[in-house]
Amino acid sequence: MKSMRRICSAVVMAAMGWAAGAGVADAQTATAQAGDRTYTTVSQHQFDNIVGNLVKTAEKVSEDLYSFKPTPDVRSLAGLLGHAADGNILICGIAAGKGVKFAPVHEKKTTKAEIIAALKESKAVCDAVFAELNDTTGKEVVKGFLPTPLPKLSWLQVNNSHNWEHYGNLVTYMRLKGITPPTSEK
């Protein structure tokens, strides 16, 4: 009886090992065909997170505060949100291999509807770039506005950093007006 259990256990274990191996091989084949997207996906999740916070900020702050500047030397709240949208379009365009084409049109917008639309438009531009990249194509080096050319995925990380930098500015703007930033809400 014990030997029969051992034989059955061995057969079951072998079958499980074979099935698991086949599953791994299938996953590796699918990944190779689609291109590995591990780093691309992480970068896109970071992008979705920060742009989500920018959109929540634009939606949360009342339109009468869109002209607010903590000091005369800095952008208004609307100008800062619009600048982030312009930056998305510029930097994602670089990551797409389109070169440097800076057209700062959104930072001049002043209404809540215009700014929210600009942020959503810029997100769609970047989403299209992410959809075309994988970890292999993301290693392709392209020139941009920095002195050194960077891999496409690095440009997307530059964009994420740029957005976080300006979200940090917006947190200060909101705190000065007694508004809880989206990232501090419970």
pLDDT tens for each residue of 81-111: 999 999 999 999 999 999 888 889 999 999 9
The pLDDT of residue 67 is above 70: yes
* pTM greater than 0.75: yes
Evaluate whether 54 touches 81 at the Cβ level (below 8 Å).
yes
Per-residue pLDDT at 25 exceeds 90: no
Residues with Cβ within 8 Å of 23's Cβ and at least 6 positions away in sequence, in order, are none
The whole-number pLDDT of residue 101 equals 84
Q: Whose CA is closest to 144, among 162, 127, 128, 132?
A: 162
Rounded Cα distance between 62 and 59, Å, is: 8
Binned at pLDDT 50, 70 and 90, residue 34 comes out as low
- Compare 22 and 86 and report the one with higher pLDDT: 86
Please state the rounded mean pLDDT for residues 15-37: 50
